[in-house]
Each structure stands twice: as C-alpha cells, then as structure tokens.
Structure 1
C-alpha cells in the first residue's frame, strides 16, 4: 500500500509574517521558535476549508487525464499497469477471504457447543484455507513487486525527459527566481526511485484497494456476526475504541498549514557551527594547522553545559513537544474504552454461561480483525487527504513546461545574410542601465558606446565595475533595466535568441565545466560538432590545452567531475586506487561508508585553457557562424607566457570578426585595441584608443603607468 509523505501546504496568496500574532501562532520549542499559520481566512465561511482540497482536485483533473493519455504512449505500459491493478485488486480481497475462513471457526464452535461434536473435515479445511491465504498474499506481493519495478522505471524515464526539457529551456533570470525553483522542486518532489506520476498511480490504487478491502471485510464480518447475540455490540465497541484513539492522535498531530521555525539562540548557532568545523573535511587542514582543537572542544563543552536540555534539532524538539503527555479528556477515557469489550463479554458470560465458548470465539475474531479494519479506515482517510496534494503535484509537473522565460524571444531572424558574419557585428549601447534581480544597486548606470563591425574593443576597470555585465547583456543573459542595445543597427530584443547566440561566442569570467568528459566539455562549444574529433583537437590546440590533456591517463575521455560515484566498503587502507581512481577513506555519509574521489585535479590555468578551447570550438566551423567574440578575463588564471600565447592566437584567429575583451590588466592587448572603454563604479569614465587615453593623462593613464612600473627594474 502506498504511504505518501504528507507535505506542507502553502497558502494560496499573500505572505507569511511570523510577527503577525493575529494570523500566526508562536510556540517556544527549546532553542527554536515555531510559527504556525492559524488559517483565519476560512473561519468566516463554514465548510470552506474542507471544500478547498476538492476544488484543487477538480482543477487538477485535466492534467491527470493528460497523464493517463501519455501512459498509453509508453511501451507496454498499459499491459503492465493493468496487471498491476489486477494484483492490487486481488490483494484487497485476501483479508476478506481469510476473515471468512475465520468465521467458519465460529460455526465449528457453535456446533461443538450445541452437539458436542467437532466437524474435523471442516476444521482442517478452515486451517488449510487460512494457510493458503497467507501464501497467496505472499505470492501476490512478490508478483506486484516484479511488475511495479519495470513499470515504475518506464514511467520515471518518460517523465525524466519531460522535466529535463522543461528545465533546459529556462533562461538565467527565470531559473534563478526562487518561485520557479520551488515549482521545479515540486516536480522533483519524490525520491530518486520514483516519480510524481508513479506516486499518483500508487496513491489512487491504494485508495481503491482500501475501499475494496473495507467493503469486503464489512460484508464478511456482518454475515459472520449477525446471528451472534453479542457479536455486533462487541464489534462496535472494539472498532469504536480504535477510531476514537485515531481521532485523538490526529487532532494532536494534524498539520494546520504553513509554518516556519528558526533559532536565534547564539550559543546554539555557534555550537552547531563548531560541529560543522570539526565534521567537514574541508576545514580539517586549517583546523589542525591553527591548533584549534582544544579551543573548539572547550567552547563546545561550555555551550552544551549552558544550553542543557533546550538544545536539539528542530524535528527532535517538535517530536518531543507533540508526544508530551497531556492529561485531557481523551487520555482519561481511552483506557476504559479499551476494556469495554471485555466487560460486555463478562456480563454476557454471567447471563448466558452456556454461550461462553461462542462469545469467547467471537471476541477473539473481532479483536483479531479490529486492528486490521481500523488501520484500513485510517489509511483511507490519510490517502484521501493526500489525494488533493498528489493531484496538485501532477498539475505542477505539467505546468513547469509553460513557465514563461523572463528574457522574451524575438521574432526577427539574424543575420539576414550569413556571410556578413565574416565582417563582424556592430554593437551599440544607448543609455543602458541594469540591476541584477533582487538587488537595488546598479551594475551599470547610463552606459552608451558603439563598437563598429570588425573592431577590437577592450573593456578595462576594477573588479565589480560592470565589465562582465556588459557581455552578459550582449548575449541576452539578461535584459537592460533601462535603455536599449543594438546589434547591427537592430534592437537586440527583436532578434531571435537562438540566432543571436549562434552568432556569438562567449567565454565568461565565471566559466563552468560540465560533469562530462574533457572531449564533451570542449565539443559543446559548438553542439553541431560536439563529437567531431578533428575539430575538438583543433580547438584544444588553439586553447593551449592539447599538451596537458594528452598527459592525462584517459586523455580526452577524462572526466573533470565524474557524475556517477563508485561505492564500496571494507577496502583495506593499503588500497590507494580502485577502478583507476583514488580511494577516499574519509568518513562520509554514503552507502558503503567510503567512496572514491570523482574529480580530476587540474590547475586553475589548465581549467581556464579548457574553457578557452570550448570558446574556440565555435570559431573553427567550415562555414561562418560567429561574427562576435566575447572574452571575459580570459587570462585571469594564466601565467604571463601562456597569456601572451593566448592573445597571439586570438589575434590571428580573429580575422575581421568583432572582438570584445574585459580585463583588469593593462598590457600588450590594449595597445592593439580599436576602442578602449574604462569603467569605474558602473559607468564609462573614459573612451578611446590606447594612445588617445595616455595623452589625456586621466585615470586610464594613471593605472597604466602603475602597472608598467611593476615590470621596470
């Protein structure tokens, strides 16, 4: 049976303000402050809160129908699903069949009381039937596991491509939006072994199975006990006690909606921080070299003594709070209710002594099935309560493919003539200002400049002056907050994004390396030739990466960060490598207790050369694709010799293409620039060629002389 993990249900709108005492309840849990929404918005409308889940289910039905139609597109899915549902149906009948056999025991007892004989054949039949039921239940469970495993895998694989496609299409500002992140998390809300679709199928089949089991058990139990003088009364009392207990516990554990918890206890925060310093291998070297062990131990002991029982993880403190014994009406009446069936049985035995064996058998039968029956009722209530949330998850699964990107695609193709890319692309900023999402400070303020086709432009300035932001705006990673950008005289926002980015090759300062092989890290610079060995090798040469790549044990097939981990345990400490990778014996919280390191150690300069090689991949196609090259601090991690070689290759490769560099270094490259933009504090302070800016004796000239003096004897 499916057991869904109850999730916290967020409010439909507005904001959750822990300081609003009218709508939020505050509870102190040791060092934690627990804030819980009161849900006052439904207080004025009787029944509205109970109707809300059904409204959500109704709104989700079209998406459930779409899910069912898509299941038909998966190979053999409906065959496996039909077989799975048949097994679930048969499983739901087994308890009733077993109960029926138990009911036959009452007949045997009744005959034994009245006639002083035992029907041995019937007794052995009943015993055999009970045993058969247990065997059938085990076989059905086995076959269900065998069916659901391939079914789950096929469904999960189908929807993994759906989610992958939905995530891959998001632009940077949309992907970074916290609301979008939460929406994406809901699509991945289940564990790695399952999927939203499969959990929905399990939940729905669980509800149907529970209903069938309840109906069959009630039918059989009614037919068995209806002729027994004390049978119905004993059944009502036995089930009543269990149901009362469940409702009492449910009222205590019921989640009322949105909640939040925080700890502002400075001692506890520092204590937890010290635990992470000691626990995390990242801090071990500095901790040892800095002789921090005694200090941290003494401080930690002091915090433990000072906090006492108030310290503890939030979930532990919440569990303690919920399980705290309370002397209320339900706790007083619960125990007497549990004894009522025994009291009734005793009174019946005094009144009708001859019926003791039959009454005792009835009591035993009822007690045996009361727990199972009540558990089925509780499971049904829990599952139907989770149904609205599960169907909402299906809706969110499909809604993620319709999340609108914040960078809106243009409609005009670019360029009109592909051959014009050979002559470069013009770039113009007109009074452009920009703020990064979630910030109030301008990264650029009122920037205006124009780069003609084929020019070499160097953007210089201090860190944080806005150099990288200019390149990101040209590539339309973001759109300006104010002002306009023109590419070849056309507003950049009118151009098709795919066409624009195909015509641009970019190397960002905060470049990344994918958890793929070196070959793919370079090849993805031009996805059209991602597996063209000759072009990848040529790009590696141009980026200055070929030599060190060939020295690696696996060459171009080396993974920088292997996405699949090796698991093992019990390996002798003398084992230094396994599967060609270094063994890591440090304490980790993973299956097996140990794992290998999965990354290749390359220097910063080598990593940057790989990034440059990926950028070059776009420029070596047989037909013109790129007309604009953007390089953001391309030599930040290179030594002077490697930097000089890189700039020479870039100049030779450039041809007539437009090229933009951003750098905080003033060197040989700025002397050959057609245009230099000097940025400071988010604005263009100076603009011109190298010679022109030196003659002005301004800020550019001053910094140039400072850097030049560093190399004078």
Structure 2
C-alpha cells in the first residue's frame, strides 16, 4: 500500500527555510509599523474570544426562555434579562473591535505595500545595467513583485487569523470535551484529509505560478500592446491585431491546460474530503440528539454543543486552509527576499573594481571637473553577458580634452557600446579605459557619472512636466528654471515650450493629464538634448544621434549652438548624418567592432577609406 502521507512530506531543511521566510515577513511588517502590528495582535486576541462567549451566552438565553415556558413562571425574567443584556453588549463590543480592526488593517496594509515597493526600488538601484538586460533577471524581478506587498499583506493577515482561530479553537475544545472527549477525536479525524489536501495544492499552486512566469509575462506583453496609445497607430495601419492576439492566445494556452488540470483535480479531491467531513459531523449530531432525548443535556446545550462542534470543525478547516495559504504565500515570499538578498556584485556583467580596492565596484578617487589629459582606450574588447560574440575587438585610441569627436560606422558596429563602456555602464571584457591616465575603475562610480552628460538614441520620454524632463539631466537643478531655460534655448526647445499652455510646467505625453501636450518626435529630441545640456560643468558631453529626428532647419539651429556647447569640454557625437560628422575635429570609424580608421574629415577623404565610401554614398543622394 502506498503511504499517502509521504506525498505531502517536506524535507526538514525546506520547512526550516519556509519558517525563516515567515519570520522575515513578520519582522518586515513589525518594522513597518510597530504600533499598528501590536494593535492588530491585541485586536485578534480579543476577537478570538467572541465566538465561544456568544455561544455560551446564547445557550443561557435559550435555557432561560425554556425554563420560563416550561415552568409557566416569570420568576426567571430577571436572570434572562441579564443574559440578553450581556448578549447585546457582546454584539456592540464586537462591532467596535471589528471597526478598529478594519481601520488598523487597512493602514498597516498600505504601509507594508509602500515599504515593499521602496525595498525593491532601492535594491534595483544597486544593480548595474547588466542586470536589466538579462531575461532571467527580469523573470526574477517579476516574481519578486508577485511576492512583495500583496503577498506580505496576505501572510500578515493569515498569520493574525491563525492566532485568532487557535485561541478560538482552544475555547471550543473546552466545550467539546464537556460533551465527550471522543467528539474531539472524531472532528480531528474528519478534518485531517483536508489538512493534507490544502498543503498539497498550495505547493502545486506555487509551482505553477513560478514555473509559468515567462509565458505569463509574454501574454501580458501582447495584451498590453493592444491598449497602448503609442502602438495603436501601427496596429491599425499594419493590421497587427490578429498577430498580437494569436501570440497572446499561444502563450496563455501554455498555462491554461495546466490550470485546468489543477482546478479539476482540486475539485475532485475537495469533494471527497467534504464527504469525510460531513460523515464526522453527522456522528456528533446523532450523539447530541441522543443525549438530548435522554434528558442529560438541555435545549441550550444542544445549541452550545452543535454550534461549538460546527464552529470548531469550520475553524479547524479554516486554520489548516490558512496554513496551506501561508505555505503558498511564503513560497512567493522567497522570490521577494531572494531579490533583496541578491548580491549585486555576483550578477554576470556586474561592474568590478581593481582587485586591490576595498570597494568591489570602484575606487574612491574623485575625477576632476576639468579634463586634463583626456581619454584612452587600451586594447579594449567587450562582449555582453551571456553571449559569446565580441561586440568590440581590441580597440585602441586616445582623445585629448576639449576636442569634438565623431564616431561613425554601420549599424551594429559597436558605436553605442563604446559609449556605454566609456560611461562605465559596463566594464570591458579585456583591456583598459583611462581618463586622465587613470583606470576608470579607480574613480568613485557616482562621481565618475557626474563628469558625463549623455543622451542616448533610445532616450526616455517621461510623461511628466517639461521642467522635469529637462531637469532630470541635472537633478540638483530640477527647480532652477533659469538653468532649465538656458539649456532649452541651446537645444532649440525654448520657443515651442513657450507656446505650451503652462510653459515649463506643462505635462507632456498625454498619459497622466487631460490637458497634456503631445510633442512631435523632433520636439521630444530637442527636449532630451536640453536634458543632456543641463550639466554645464560636465567635461565630457556625449550625444548619440542627437539630431536624427530633426528637420533641416532645426538641425541647422542646433549645430549653430554646438560650437558654444563644445567650449572647454570633450564632445563625442555618434551620427549617421555626415553633415554633422564632418564638423568634428576627429573622427573614429568602427567596422564590425574594430576601429579601422581615424582622423579629421579632410584626412579621411584623402584616402581610400570606408569613411570616404559612406560619405560619398550619402552625398550622392543630394546631387
């Protein structure tokens, strides 16, 4: 015969791990609001005494009524009135406690939700860019969100409920033993199958939810595309709805059948378990009726005992259901705390400082706000984490300070990757990058980032105010309207901003405010260019395709102001527009990850170079 209980056994180490997670969750809640947590605990203890107290008082009310009716005497009215008054008092007290519980629970849930979001945000701020470009890590992050605020609140609620039910059950046990000790054993035996069932299905639920996170993310992505404003045009013009819908169905079908089997199996087992529960209740009811007929218990006792048995059985079922739920939620909590416990330096592709430094990520040298000797790449090669292809291969060059530099090459040549390495969003796989003759890993990372002012080609359009969109380029000056206006004028954005209804306080993007403005692509690029220009003191300005979306007039105006932007700083521009590139003092030409040419526009045009070929192809289009 198969030992059924073995199916539900969990190794001791795993059980200890779950208990540890439960403790961590409760500590998290306690630290969130000690007063509210303590108050909830007190409320639950008081609430736990109400069910048995109500049954006991109702029993005495019924016995009092029965005595008056049978004896046809009003002598027991005073005693009956006392019990009725006590019953009403209990109801009022229950209402007060219930109201206080609702208020306290709602406030505590809100605090926990906010603190869990804060914890995830702070943790994510410690990860390097490599973390967010790995799908496995994004799955972990998704699971952590599933296991954060809602789950912690559920664990907290369930834990308090378990405390309440246990105290209530103890009070019911005293009543049931008064009936017969065997009644207690029958209830336990009838409830045991439900205990095992709940535990089993809780574990299965966690396995299904965690194992299917990727198809759930993909189905959410495709369903989300259909409701996104910026995708609506292409869906209609390109007839994409059916494709997106079919992809959505494909991914939901991956977990629909598994869910269907789970629900069917759970339903069948719950039906059989309920039959056992009904059988146990029936035996006790027959015994109570038998004793009542024999006159060994009163009418009030019938209400007391059957109510206690029914409530005990329901409470016991609920308690172990709560245990199953808390087991399930603790498993999700593992995802949340796994993220919080994740060591940022262990992430593949994480930044690492020189071995002789105390900090694993960087040194503590503060870079100068004035570039003295410039930038040097020494034998730099790079491949992205979890890939084998080198994106940059043995790249060597030097850039003096206060020079304008253009980087050109075909798509995928490694231009943007080179900039990411220079700004130290990644570390080279091989080689060194130096600023002022010092390895950039020796610089304090936060201070190093301050010497760069960068706008990438995939710039972010924040659906916030104009002031914030520009001010994010130098967060310390986000409220300095004069500095923001100065940057916007250099970027050619001030004129159209002045036409907005609230000028620099106008919301843009049409997401949060009905009165928001929807800038054109060219206007967005000017706003983001202004953002990059907010760091006037930054000695290195990097512009990745800064005028790609601008018309010829806007581009002309922007480049007229570039000469002012480039004063006393090293400016690096990535562009496919050779009208932009040729104005640079020095040009780097990348091809398939290698630096194959460098020099001024004139020098490169005098030779048989790839640069000359690309320039000529573009120039021919204007002949």
Task: Please indicate the TM-score interval, normalised by the length of the shorter structure.
Answer: 0.7 to 0.9
- Mapped partners of 1:397, 1:311: distance in 2: 26
Report if aligned partners of 1:678, 1:700 keep a CA contact under 8 Å in 2: yes
Question: Secondary structure at 1:636's aligned position in 2?
Answer: coil
Which residue does the alignment assign to 1:610?
A: 527
Please identify which structure carries the higher helix content.
Answer: 2
Matched, 1:170 2:127: yes
Question: Secondary structure at 2:498's aligned position in 1?
Answer: helix
Question: What does residue range 575-586 of structure 1 map to in structure 2 within 5 Å?
Answer: 580-581=514-515
Which residue does the alignment assign to 1:89?
A: 45
Deviation by residue 1:457-512 (Cα, 9 ceiling, x = unmatched): 11111122111111111000111122211112111112111222111111111111
Matched, 1:414 2:366: yes
- Mapped partners of 1:292, 1:495: distance in 2: 48
Matched, 1:366 2:283: no
TM-score by length of 1: 0.72
Structure 2 CA distance for partners of 1:436 and 1:374, relative to 1, 3 Å? same
- State the Cα distance separating 1:329 from its structure 2 match: 7.6
- Mapped partners of 2:44, 2:185: distance in 1: 28
Report if aligned partners of 1:516, 1:562 keep a CA contact under 8 Å in 2: no
Structure 2 CA distance for partners of 1:248 and 1:363, relative to 1, 3 Å? farther
- Mapped partners of 1:696, 1:287: distance in 2: 47
TM-score by length of 2: 0.81
Report if aligned partners of 2:29, 2:156 keep a CA contact under 8 Å in 1: no
| Worse-matched range after superposition: 78-87 or 462-471 | 78-87
Gaps of 5+ in 1: 1-41, 72-76, 266-270, 567-579, 582-598, 620-624
Question: Secondary structure at 2:543's aligned position in 1?
Answer: strand
Structure 2 CA distance for partners of 1:362 and 1:313, relative to 1, 3 Å? same
Structure 2 CA distance for partners of 1:609 and 1:391, relative to 1, 3 Å? closer
- Mapped partners of 1:189, 1:107: distance in 2: 52
- Mapped partners of 1:431, 1:163: distance in 2: 38
Matched, 1:57 2:19: yes
Which residue does the alignment assign to 1:629?
A: 541
Deviation by residue 1:249-300 (Cα, 9 ceiling, x = unmatched): 437634246347779x9xxxxx99999998888776667668999x99xx99
Report if aligned partners of 1:174, 1:180 keep a CA contact under 8 Å in 2: yes
Matched, 1:126 2:65: no
- State the Cα distance separating 1:316 from its structure 2 match: 5.7
Report if aligned partners of 2:477, 2:483 keep a CA contact under 8 Å in 1: yes
- Mapped partners of 1:215, 1:234: distance in 2: 14
- Mapped partners of 2:333, 2:233: distance in 1: 50
Among candidates 169, 172, 177, match of residue 214 of structure 1: 169
Report if aligned partners of 1:61, 1:391 keep a CA contact under 8 Å in 2: no
Report if aligned partners of 1:98, 1:133 keep a CA contact under 8 Å in 2: yes
Question: Secondary structure at 1:618's aligned position in 2?
Answer: coil
- Mapped partners of 1:475, 1:274: distance in 2: 34
Report if aligned partners of 2:55, 2:307 keep a CA contact under 8 Å in 1: no
Report if aligned partners of 2:589, 2:611 keep a CA contact under 8 Å in 1: yes
Report if aligned partners of 1:99, 1:221 keep a CA contact under 8 Å in 2: no
Deviation by residue 1:330-352 (Cα, 9 ceiling, x = unmatched): 67756544532344456x37xx8
Structure 2 CA distance for partners of 1:182 and 1:285, relative to 1, 3 Å? closer
Aligned length: 594
Which residue does the alignment assign to 1:146?
A: 103
Question: What does residue range 286-301 of structure 1 map to in structure 2 within 5 Å?
Answer: none
- Mapped partners of 1:326, 1:202: distance in 2: 27
Question: Secondary structure at 1:255's aligned position in 2?
Answer: helix
Question: Secondary structure at 2:49's aligned position in 1?
Answer: helix
Report if aligned partners of 2:509, 2:518 keep a CA contact under 8 Å in 1: no
Structure 2 CA distance for partners of 1:146 and 1:339, relative to 1, 3 Å? closer
| Worse-matched range after superposition: 95-104 or 392-401 | 392-401
Deviation by residue 1:419-453 (Cα, 9 ceiling, x = unmatched): x33x6x51221221212223332222222222122
Among candidates 316, 326, 338, match of residue 377 of structure 1: 316
Which residue does the alignment assign to 1:258?
A: 207
Among candidates 588, 612, 615, match of residue 677 of structure 1: 588
- Mapped partners of 1:325, 1:195: distance in 2: 27
- Mapped partners of 2:532, 2:517: distance in 1: 21
Which residue does the alignment assign to 1:355?
A: 295
Question: Secondary structure at 1:600's aligned position in 2?
Answer: coil
Question: Secondary structure at 2:390's aligned position in 1?
Answer: coil
Which residue does the alignment assign to 1:576?
A: none
Which residue does the alignment assign to 2:415?
A: 467
Question: Secondary structure at 1:219's aligned position in 2?
Answer: helix
Among candidates 479, 500, 506, match of residue 531 of structure 1: 479
- Mapped partners of 1:111, 1:561: distance in 2: 77
- State the Cα distance separating 1:133 from its structure 2 match: 2.6
Deviation by residue 1:366-407 (Cα, 9 ceiling, x = unmatched): 332333222322333344452655875785585369776722
Among candidates 400, 409, 419, match of residue 452 of structure 1: 400
Question: Secondary structure at 1:691's aligned position in 2?
Answer: helix
Structure 2 CA distance for partners of 1:179 and 1:674, relative to 1, 3 Å? same
Which residue does the alignment assign to 2:498?
A: 550
- State the Cα distance separating 1:236 from its structure 2 match: 5.0
Report if aligned partners of 2:381, 2:430 keep a CA contact under 8 Å in 1: yes
Which residue does the alignment assign to 1:5?
A: none
Report if aligned partners of 1:631, 1:661 keep a CA contact under 8 Å in 2: yes
Which residue does the alignment assign to 1:399?
A: 341
Which residue does the alignment assign to 1:693?
A: 604
| Worse-matched range after superposition: 492-501 or 118-127 | 118-127
Among candidates 386, 390, 402, match of residue 442 of structure 1: 390
Report if aligned partners of 1:241, 1:338 keep a CA contact under 8 Å in 2: no
Structure 2 CA distance for partners of 1:562 and 1:284, relative to 1, 3 Å? closer
Among candidates 239, 264, 268, match of residue 321 of structure 1: 264
Matched, 1:137 2:77: no
Question: Secondary structure at 1:378's aligned position in 2?
Answer: helix
Question: Secondary structure at 1:551's aligned position in 2?
Answer: coil
| Worse-matched range after superposition: 540-549 or 176-185 | 176-185
Which residue does the alignment assign to 2:560?
A: 648
Question: What does residue range 13-52 of structure 1 map to in structure 2 within 5 Å?
Answer: 49-50=11-12, 52=14
- State the Cα distance separating 1:148 from its structure 2 match: 3.4
